[in-house]
Structure 1
Amino acid sequence: MLAGSAGLVSVPVIEGQEKRPSDPWTVAQTIQPAELASELGDKGGTPPAIVYVGFRTLFVGGHVPGATFHGSASTEQGLSDLKKWAEELPRTTNLVIYCGCCPLEKCPNIRPAFTMLDKMGFKKLRVLILPTNFATDWADKGCPIQKGM
């Protein structure tokens, strides 16, 4: 008899969507680049509110079209500015946050931003999954880019 083999179910997981112990979000609270690009291109739908939570220089160099920047979420000032902006939003806002400054598993910005917004009660909060970085996982895949502030 093989110990431990009974009752195990193999569940396929999309690359980059694994739930890591350090991730405060669930798989259902994530969105892949192609999915977000599709939502942005849907002329009949309402696009999500998109917030870049990384570093200003990277935002200026290129970001998801329509994204806003309220400071780096790895800093107290950045989190404070993000919270001030978010306080005015209905908690049912379709909200996508992303960084892409570095590999997602090491990102200093995305987890503090998600945790704060989740605690504020946002019901449709999602994280854009960029496993490597914004350039590799978004720009190089042909997704739309906006430059500047």
Structure 2
Amino acid sequence: MKGSKIAVITFAMMLMPALQSHGQFSNPAPLSATTISQENLIQPAELARMLRPGAAGRPVVFQVGSFVMFQQAHIPDSGFAGPGSQANGMILLKKFSAPLSKKQLIVIYCGCCPWNHCPNLGPAYKELHDLGFTNVKVLYLANNFGDDWVAKGYPVEKGQ
């Protein structure tokens, strides 16, 4: 019995390079922010209007970037849902979105880096859709949160 397990493991190890070259066990291509269609984006000015006191249709907002960035500055009343590119971020996003209606307007944002390099938005957006949410928007921050939100004078909170 022991020898047969070793033979199976050895055989699998010999096959691994061939399987990897055909994509069988390779990591999936990361989902970048650029995979999100234009109709699912929201501009900073529009979100800022929606967040004014007394505004109708206030969305639930999640930051899906780093916790350090969230502590430095974040959109008021937004929740930290963890980095969308990491498994622990997906766990937090599932947990915090679970009690919400599937039709609830949810806006996610990151702003860690330029839009076309963000590793967090694509996976978080896909996860929310996979969970059945039908009204998800992504805050379009072309450069980063500092340039496209903070420097433009939109409201921020600091700390947790």
| TM-score normalised per structure 2 | 0.76
Q: How far apart are residue 85 of structure 1 and its match? A: 1.8
Superposed, which structure 2 residues align to 1:79-98 within 5 Å?
Answer: 79-98=90-109
Per-residue CA distance 1:56-84 (angstroms, 9 max, x = gap): 01000000111000211111111111112
User: One-letter code of the match for 1:88?
Assistant: P
> Of Structure 1 and Structure 2, which has the larger fraction of its residues in helix?
2
Match of 1:23 in 2: 34
Question: Which sections of structure 1, spanning at least 5 residues, go unmatched?
Answer: 1-20
Per-residue CA distance 1:101-122 (angstroms, 9 max, x = gap): 0011100111110010011121
Between the two proteins, the alignment pairs up a number of residues equal to 129
Match of 1:63 in 2: 74
Structure possessing the higher radius of gyration over alpha carbons: 2
User: One-letter code of the match for 2:74?
Assistant: H
1:40 aligns with 2:51: yes
1:126 aligns with 2:137: yes
Q: Distance in 1 between matches of 2:36 and 2:151?
A: 26
CA contact (8 A) 2:33 2:119 kept: no
The 3-state SS of whatever aligns with 1:141 is coil
Superposition CA RMSD, Å: 1.5
Question: Which sections of structure 2, spanning at least 5 residues, go unmatched?
Answer: 1-31
The 3-state SS of whatever aligns with 1:23 is helix
Q: Equivalent pairs: percent with the same residue?
A: 39
The 3 A distance-change label for structure 1 pair 146 and 84 is same
CA contact (8 A) 1:24 1:115 kept: no
The 3 A distance-change label for structure 1 pair 22 and 134 is closer
| TM-score normalised per structure 1 | 0.81
**Range with bigger deviation, 22-31 or 137-146:** 22-31
**Range with bigger deviation, 21-30 or 91-100:** 21-30
